[in-house]
Structure formats: structure tokens, C-alpha cells
């Protein structure tokens, strides 16, 4: 759906764009006030990251085998809506990763140069045209209305390893590799919803509600969520949209939840709006069994806004198999990310999308390194697609990237508390993750990702 270029539409998208990737844009865990020895950062100078060895390193490359690749440099694009949202998380992650990698010698001696492609919500196509002219690949970013750039990207055969995807036309489109392995045909939160409805709060299954921001992105996500909840054992008794430009009084929504007897709520939109709703729920003394605040709320900002209401009813978020920052003491790769941010971007916050961006950057770098001197788009894409046990050095649960459209088998849950986010008691069975998620395939008609064939191309055209 093409957005209407009006002030109202701009305001609406702005208010919910943080949710654009299906709970993708978030605040994140804070770095913390204590200084820690920069041992991981020191080790990173050798080009190792977590369990990954020689991700970056020196070399003596020659030639210019592809657009954006010279004997000394690899040029990539990173998409972001920072000009509109003022959220620099993808820029920060790109800066930290590329500066670390280049300090270690680059990709076989080639320095990585990234161009921030600021799509400003409505300029995705324009930025994609620019990227098609200059970049070797797209890495570690995302745009709220990302469907607008897919056709151009496929026409110019540009590989994409994003930190997040948003709209159906882009999610799972050709020449794209999602480093966390989520398939477009499957409900990515099936394990999480099953846990909520059958284990954590089984009494809530008969009365679930969904509230979503009124935007092209979240409307589709809301429909998919309702289907996923029903197939996970829940009964959806209440659905509503809120004006994404803002709500002055959340009392009518709170009263509707109460009148419908809603026991569990999935909220899809801006966590600032959720915080206001929860304050009203507390004021009318209506307590839900649980609220899915989603990863949009995973960060310090939500706790500061929701205040004492966070202790009134449980708030959860599923991180889709990405290790939570709260587990950094037990996961060396997370500690290394924290050290690298202190080294290269000390004023930046590590967010959930930033961790996903790091996974994307690592997948790009390891694949490009394996290609050696003859670094082509074809080699990059095929090498990345061959990963059968991708963990980003320990930043996430293992996924098989050879399966382009597969369900997520693992999930992990965090819970908001008065003291900040904590790891929930969701009974993990594989390290920090639980890997018994059921397979839930969508049957609703939500559209489909674009293919090379849709623009008159095929994989044989990729060079």
C-alpha cells in the first residue's frame, strides 16, 4: 500500500514506525554505569568475534571484481529512517562494526565503507536507486516502509542482509538473507504465544485482545497476530486500532478491555502509548493476566514512562532467539559487543535492533571473507546462504540459513520489572533459549514477497 503524502499520514507513520518490523524497532538494555576491562575489545583487534574466528583481517587484494569493490575498499549501504525518527541505532551499529573490522585489517585487506541510506520513512525508493548505483550490498539496516525499495533492489541485483524487515513485499524477498532465520510464511511468535496461553497464563486463553496502531504496516501485523494467537490456543475477543498520530485519553480503550473481559493483551505500536494505556488500566483497577509489550518496549525508556504500573500486571517481550543483554555475564559475544561500543561509540545505546544489525554485519563479513580476493555479489549471496548453523558468534540461537522460508524453532522471553527488564521464567532448554516452538503457517492472504521473476530477472543473472 502506498502511503498518502499528507501531514496526517506522516504523523501516523511516525508514531508507529518504531514497530515497523513486527516488533523490530526497540529501545534496548543500557550499557550500565560500571566500567569493565576491555578484554573482549582487545581480542577483537585480531578479527575474532565470539566463537567466530578471523571475521576480519589483513590481506593483499587486487582488482575490482564487482560494483562497490576495489582493491582497497568495499562499499555497502545501510538503510535507516534516522532523518525522521532521530533513532541512530543502525548508524551506530554500522560505525562500531566497520571501525572494529577495519582496525583488524578489513575484509582480507579491503576496508569497509558504509553509506547511510536515510529513507526518512517515505524515501525508500529514492535511496534504493542511489544504493543501486554505488553499493556492493545492503547490510545491517531497515526502513519502516521498506516495500518501496524492493523492486529497484531486485532490478539491480543487490543482495540484502538486513537487521530488520517490515512489509510483506520485502520480508523474504529474493536476494535477501535474514540472519535470524525468520520465514515469511510462518508466525514467528508461535512458541512465545503458546507459552503465554498454555503455560504462563492458561486462564487467559479464552479472552485475548489485540490493539495496533492505525498504519499500513501494523494493520497487516495485527491481522497476522490474531491468526497466530488463535492457532496457538487463544480466543481473540477484542481488536482495535488507535490513531497512530496519538491518543489524548486512553480511558475508552481501557474501558473496552474491561467490558470485553480481556485477560491477555498484545499491543502493537509505540511503547509510549502502551505506557499511557497501562497507567489508565491501573487507575481504573483493571488488571490483565499479561501484556505482550513486544521488543519495541525492550529498553530503559519503557520502564521510565510506565512507572509503577509496570508492577501492576506482567509485561513480556519475545526476542526471537537473540540473546538478551541481561545475559551478558554468561555470553561472551554480548560482552564483546558492549566492549566494542565503549571503544567506538561510547555515547550510543545498544538496542535490540542493534544486536540484530551486528548479526547481519557478521554474516556479511564472514561470507565476504570466505570469498577471498574474487569478491562478487554471487559469491557473497551463495556463501551466506550456505550457513547451516549461524549463531553470529553466540549472539543468537543457531539457525539454518539454507532454509529461506522456515519457522523459528526457538524463542526467549524477557519481563519488565520495577528494576528494569529481566529474563522471564520461560524454561529454556538450549542455553538461553527454548526450542520447542510449534510450526504455525499463516493461511490468511497477507500478500507475498517480491521475486526476481517479478522484475524479469533470475538467479542466473547474479554475477
Check residue 191 and report its DSSP letter. H
What does each C-alpha distance from 47 to 7, 55, 103, 375 come to in angstroms?
47, 5, 8, 19
**pLDDT tens digits, one per residue of 105-147:** 999 999 999 999 999 999 999 999 999 999 999 999 999 999 9
Measured CA to CA, the distance from residue 377 to residue 382 in angstroms comes to: 8
What integer pLDDT is reported at residue 376 of this predicted model?
Answer: 98
Which DSSP helix (H) or strand (E) runs through 85?
helix 82-85
Which ranges constitute the DSSP H helices of 205-266?
Answer: 216-231, 251-259
Which ranges constitute the DSSP H helices of 86-123?
Answer: 89-103
Given a contact cutoff of 8 angstroms between Cβ atoms, the answer to whether 291 and 274 are in contact is yes
Given a contact cutoff of 8 angstroms between Cβ atoms, the answer to whether 122 and 74 are in contact is no
Domain ranges of the chain: 27-183+329-400
Measured CA to CA, the distance from residue 416 to residue 427 in angstroms comes to: 17
pLDDT greater than 50 at residue 382: yes
Check residue 196 and report its DSSP letter. I
Average pLDDT over residues 428-446: 95
| DSSP SS3 for 291 | strand
Q: How many CA atoms lie within 13 A of 315 on its CB side?
A: 29
Q: What angle do CA 276, 280, 286 make, to 5 degrees?
A: 135
**pLDDT tens digits, one per residue of 205-230:** 999 999 998 887 778 888 999 999 99
pLDDT greater than 50 at residue 30: no
What integer pLDDT is reported at residue 146 of this predicted model?
Answer: 96
Measured CA to CA, the distance from residue 135 to residue 302 in angstroms comes to: 36
Torsion angle in degrees (nearest 10) through CA of 115, 118, 122, 126? -30
What integer pLDDT is reported at residue 39 of this predicted model?
Answer: 47
CB atoms within 10 A of CB 444: 11
What integer pLDDT is reported at residue 38 of this predicted model?
Answer: 44
Measured CA to CA, the distance from residue 168 to residue 245 in angstroms comes to: 23
The C-alpha R_g of the chain, in whole angstroms, comes to 21
**pLDDT tens digits, one per residue of 59-101:** 999 999 999 999 999 999 999 999 999 999 999 999 999 999 9
142-166 in b/e form (b: 16+ CB < 10 A) is bbbbbbbbbebbbbbbbbbbbbbbb
- Cα 461 to chain centroid distance, Å, stands at 30
Measured CA to CA, the distance from residue 374 to residue 379 in angstroms comes to: 8
Pick the closest to residue 29 from 329, 360, 251 (CA basis). 329
φ/ψ (deg, to 5) at 122: -105, 5
* Residue bearing the bigger pLDDT, 144 or 37: 144
Residue 328 buriedness (CB in 10 A; 0-12 / 13-18 / 19+): buried
**pLDDT tens digits, one per residue of 175-201:** 999 999 879 999 999 999 999 999 999
pTM (whole model) above 0.75? yes
| DSSP SS3 for 126 | helix
Show Cβ contacts of residue 370 under 8 Å, excluding neighbours closer than 6 positions: 383
Which DSSP helix (H) or strand (E) runs through 10?
helix 7-16
Given a contact cutoff of 8 angstroms between Cβ atoms, the answer to whether 394 and 331 are in contact is yes
pLDDT greater than 90 at residue 359: yes
| DSSP SS3 for 430 | strand
Which ranges constitute the DSSP H helices of 268-312?
Answer: 271-283, 300-306
Residue 330 buriedness (CB in 10 A; 0-12 / 13-18 / 19+): exposed
CB atoms within 10 A of CB 5: 8
Measured CA to CA, the distance from residue 149 to residue 79 in angstroms comes to: 10
Residue 33: pLDDT band (50, 70, 90) is very low
How many residues does this entry show for the chain?
Answer: 463
Kindly write down the DSSP assignment for every residue of 13-38, as one continuous string: HHHHGGGTTTS---------SS---T
| Number of alpha helices (DSSP H) and beta strands (DSSP E) in the chain | 14, 11
What integer pLDDT is reported at residue 444 of this predicted model?
Answer: 93
What integer pLDDT is reported at residue 13 of this predicted model?
Answer: 46
Mean residue pLDDT across the chain: 90
**pLDDT tens digits, one per residue of 140-170:** 999 999 999 999 999 999 999 999 999 999 9
Average pLDDT over residues 311-320: 95
In the CATH scheme, what is the code of domain 27-183+329-400?
3.40.50.2300
Amino acid at each position: 500500500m502506498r502511503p498518502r503524502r499528507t501531514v496526517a499520514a506522516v504523523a501516523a507513520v511516525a508514531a508507529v514506525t518504531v514497530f515497523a518490523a513486527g516488533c523490530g524497532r526497540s529501545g534496548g538494555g543500557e550499557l550500565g554505569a560500571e566500567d569493565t576491562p576491555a578484554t573482549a575489545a582487545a581480542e577483537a583487534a585480531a578479527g575474532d568475534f565470539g566463537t567466530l574466528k578471523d571475521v576480519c583481517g589483513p590481506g593483499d587484494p587486487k582488482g575490482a571484481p564487482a560494483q562497490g569493490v576495489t582493491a582497497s575498499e568495499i562499499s555497502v549501504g545501510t538503510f535507516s529512517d534516522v532523518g525522521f525518527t532521530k533513532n541512530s541505532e543502525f548508524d551506530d551499529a554500522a560505525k562500531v562494526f566497520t571501525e572494529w573490522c577495519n582496525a583488524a585489517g578489513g575484509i582480507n585487506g579491503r576496508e569497509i565503507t558504509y553509506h547511510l541510506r536515510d529513507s526518512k520513512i517515505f524515501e525508500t525508493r529514492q535511496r534504493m536507486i542511489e544504493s543501486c548505483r554505488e553499493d556492493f550490498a545492503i547490510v545491517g539496516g531497515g526502513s519502516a516502509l521498506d516495500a518501496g525499495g524492493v523492486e529497484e533492489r531486485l532490478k539491480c541485483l543487490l543482495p540484502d542482509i538486513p537487521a530488520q524487515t517490515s512489509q510483506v513485499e520485502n520480508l523474504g524477498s529474493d536476494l535477501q538473507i535474514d540472519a535470524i532465520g525468520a520465514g515469511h510464511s510462518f508466525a514467528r511468535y508461535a512458541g512465545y504465544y503458546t507459552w503465554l496461553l498454555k503455560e504462563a497464563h492458561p486462564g487467559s486463553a479464552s479472552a485475548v485482545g489485540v490493539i495496533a496502531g492505525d498504519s499500513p504496516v501494523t494493520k497487516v501485523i495485527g491481522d497476522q497476530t490474531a491468526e497466530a494467537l488463535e492457532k496457538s490456543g487463544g480466543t481473540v475477543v477484542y481488536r482495535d486500532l488507535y490513531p497512530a498520530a496519538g491518543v489524548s485519553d486512553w480511558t475508552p480503550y481501557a474501558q473496552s478491555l474491561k467490558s470485553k473481559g480481556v485477560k491477555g493483551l498484545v499491543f502493537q505500536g509505540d511503547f509510549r502509548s502502551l505506557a499511557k494505556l497501562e497507567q489508565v488500566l491501573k487507575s481504573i483497577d483493571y488488571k490483565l493476566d499479561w501484556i505482550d509489550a513486544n521488543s519495541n518496549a525492550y529498553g530503559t525508556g519503557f520502564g521510565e514512562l510506565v512507572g509503577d504500573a509496570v508492577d501492576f500486571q506482567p509485561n513480556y517481550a519475545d526476542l526471537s532467539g537473540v540473546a538478551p543483554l541481561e545475559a551478558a555475564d554468561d555470553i561472551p559475544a554480548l560482552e564483546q559487543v558492549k566492549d566494542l561500543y565503549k571503544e567506538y561509540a561510547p555515547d550510543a545505546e545498544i538496542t535490540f535492533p542493534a544486536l540484530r544489525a551486528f548479526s547481519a554485519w557478521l554474516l556479511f563479513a564472514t561470507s565476504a571473507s570466505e570469498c577471498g580476493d574474487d569478491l562478487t555479489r554471487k559469491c557473497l549471496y551463495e556463501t551466506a546462504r550456505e550457513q547451516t548453523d549461524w549463531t553470529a558468534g553466540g549472539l543468537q540461537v543457531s539457525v539454518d540459513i539454507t532454509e529461506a522460508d522456515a519457522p523459528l524453532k526457538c524463542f526467549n522471553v524477557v519481563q519488565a520489572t520495577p528494576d528494569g527488564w529481566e529474563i522471564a521464567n520461560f524454561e529454556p532448554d538450549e542455553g538461553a533459549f527454548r526450542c520447542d516452538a510449534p510450526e504455525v503457517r499463516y493461511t490468511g492472504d497477507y500478500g507475498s514477497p517480491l521475486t526476481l521473476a517479478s522484475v524479469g530477472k533470475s538467479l542466473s543473472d547474479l554475477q
